[in-house]
């Protein structure tokens, strides 16, 4: 064990109770943004048994049938069969929506330019371990639950139900290079079926589809439904809440998290907007070759247009001095609230797509914070820095 490090990440399917809530909250936000791009929203959802409660603050000129929006999400996820304890048609749906506090509204909108909707610390992270510049364990855990959901929806495994989760543990060497998976865990909700058959099917159609064999060794522990039966699941088995899967939403524990959840919040909420902007910056810095790992941190005070703090950490992997990277960060990216919203197109309805399988690394979803459009500019500024440094050294030698 000496000299080695282990890292674990988990992910959950869209039918997990907490993820149902995230998707409902973001679907409601999107429905308002379709009709009113300036809508302010902070929507929280709870599911328990066959009941859905939607509460929060929304200020908008638009009108949205919130109950119909929620039922549509539940139906799309796959909770359509009565007798499972939760379904789109028969669930009791309660709403308690109010307007945004005028005190918060004044701080956000005063002076004609947007200020932060709250105080807080946000982090963005990127590395070279996996596609999308994501940590490998986070990427693999997402791939497992995506594969699980695909097997259900395409009826490759027709007896699967919507709830499920996965977890992987990776062994790294002392230089931080991934070696192999020490364990894989998959838990899948299912019809009443033989456990041996279930495990064989999950192994064949989920794990082997999602995980490259190079990460699996003969001594890798693979646990499939480790407690046995998982027939009662979803909200029938566990209460769900918006914002309870923040590590699933971000980097699986590889990068730090400020603590604020994302779903249901409009772009004036810096919990969401600044987390997206710092990811955008960190990803472009890594893709430009300035470092192999990068974490950008930012902090805001409520009502303020500029951050209180902006720092960058490259964990000793930098190819340029950290002060130079920090200078380039400030040259290329604006962290003013209004600029972040405009740059990342955060008044556009798109947030339902973020609410399952992570907000980051989703390069096929059209999210602006995943674009690599600043790479060339960063490289140019990096080259300018090196040229100036060489010129200074030449002058010193002469």
Please state, in angstroms and rounded to a whole number, the distance separating the CA atoms of residues 112 and 130. Answer: 42
- Give the pLDDT of residue 393: 55
Please state, in angstroms and rounded to a whole number, the distance separating the CA atoms of residues 138 and 353. Answer: 18
Residue 214 has pLDDT above 70, yes or no: yes
Specify the CATH number for the domain of residue 275. Answer: 3.30.300.10
Q: Is residue 70 part of a domain?
A: yes
Q: Is residue 398 part of a domain?
A: no
Closest CA to 158 of 104, 214, 197, 119: 197
CB burial string 17-51: b at 16+ within 10 A, e below: bbbbbbbbbbbbbbbbbeebeebbbbbbbbbbebe
> Tens digits of per-residue pLDDT, 184-198?
999 999 999 999 999
Tokens read off for 289? 């070759």
Mean pLDDT of the chain: 93
Q: Is residue 238 part of a domain?
A: no
Structural domain including 319 reads 120-127+245-259+267-390
Q: Is residue 239 part of a domain?
A: no
| Same domain for 253 and 217 | no
| Same domain for 273 and 148 | no
* 257 — pLDDT class (breaks 50, 70, 90): very high
Q: Is residue 58 part of a domain?
A: yes
Please state, in angstroms and rounded to a whole number, the distance separating the CA atoms of residues 198 and 227. Answer: 13
Q: Is residue 113 part of a domain?
A: no
- Give the pLDDT of residue 303: 86
Total structural domains within the chain = 3
Residue for token pair 């838990």: 187
| Same domain for 250 and 382 | yes
| Same domain for 164 and 292 | no
Mean pLDDT of 283-287: 98
> Tens digits of per-residue pLDDT, 149-178?
999 999 999 999 999 999 999 999 988 899
Q: Is residue 382 part of a domain?
A: yes
| Same domain for 383 and 273 | yes
> Tens digits of per-residue pLDDT, 16-64?
999 999 999 999 999 999 999 999 999 999 999 999 999 999 999 999 9
Q: Is residue 111 part of a domain?
A: no
| Same domain for 276 and 153 | no
**How far apart are the two ends of the chain, measured CA to CA in Å?**
53
Mean pLDDT of 360-388: 95
| Same domain for 250 and 206 | no
Please state, in angstroms and rounded to a whole number, the distance separating the CA atoms of residues 183 and 169. Answer: 5
| Same domain for 194 and 167 | yes
> Which range among 81-85, 227-231, 294-298, 327-331 shows the weakest confidence by mean pLDDT?
81-85
Full-model pTM? 0.93
| Same domain for 376 and 251 | yes
| Same domain for 150 and 88 | no
- Give the pLDDT of residue 99: 87
| Same domain for 249 and 212 | no
The percent of residues above 90 in pLDDT, for the chain, comes to: 86
| Same domain for 180 and 80 | no
């Amino acid at each position: 064990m000496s000299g080695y490090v282990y890292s674990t990440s988990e992910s959950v399917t869209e039918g997990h109770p907490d993820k149902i809530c995230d998707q409902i909250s973001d679907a409601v936000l999107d429905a308002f943004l379709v009709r009113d791009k300036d809508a302010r929203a902070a929507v929280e959802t709870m599911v328990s048994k066959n009941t859905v409660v939607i509460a929060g603050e929304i200020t908008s000129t638009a009108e949205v049938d919130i109950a119909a929006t929620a039922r549509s999400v539940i139906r799309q996820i796959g909770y359509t069969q009565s007798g499972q304890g939760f379904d789109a048609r028969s669930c009791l749906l309660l709403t308690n929506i109010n307007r945004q506090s005028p005190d918060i509204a004044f701080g956000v909108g005063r002076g004609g330019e947007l200020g932060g909707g709250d105080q807080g610390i946000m982090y963005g992270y990127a590395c070279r371990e996996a596609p999308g510049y994501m940590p490998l364990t986070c990427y693999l855990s997402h791939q497992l639950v995506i594969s699980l959901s695909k097997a259900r929806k395409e009826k490759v495994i027709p007896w699967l139900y919507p709830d499920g989760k996965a977890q992987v543990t990776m062994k790294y060497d002392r230089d931080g290079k991934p070696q192999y998976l020490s364990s894989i865990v998959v838990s899948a909700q299912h019809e009443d079926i033989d456990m041996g058959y279930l495990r064989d099917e999950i192994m064949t159609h989920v794990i082997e589809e999602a995980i490259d064999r190079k990460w699996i060794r003969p001594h890798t522990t693979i646990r499939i439904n480790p407690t046995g039966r998982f027939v009662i699941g979803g909200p029938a088995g566990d209460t769900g809440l918006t914002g309870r899967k923040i590590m699933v939403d971000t980097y699986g524990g590889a990068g730090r998290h400020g603590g604020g959840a994302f779903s249901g919040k409009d772009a004036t909420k810096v919990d969401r907007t600044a987390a997206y902007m710092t990811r955008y910056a960190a990803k472009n810095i890594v893709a430009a070759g300035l470092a192999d790992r990068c974490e950008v941190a930012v902090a805001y005070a409520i009502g303020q247009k500029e951050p209180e703090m902006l720092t960058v950490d490259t964990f000793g992997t930098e190819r340029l001095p950290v002060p130079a990277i920090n200078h380039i960060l400030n040259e290329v990216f604006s962290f003013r609230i209004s600029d972040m919203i405009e740059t990342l197109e955060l008044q556009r309805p798109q947030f339902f797509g973020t609410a399952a399988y992570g907000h980051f690394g989703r390069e096929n979803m059209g999210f602006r914070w995943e674009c690599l459009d600043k790479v060339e500019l960063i490289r140019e500024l990096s080259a300018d820095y090196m040229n100036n440094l060489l010129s200074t050294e030449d002058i010193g030698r002469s």
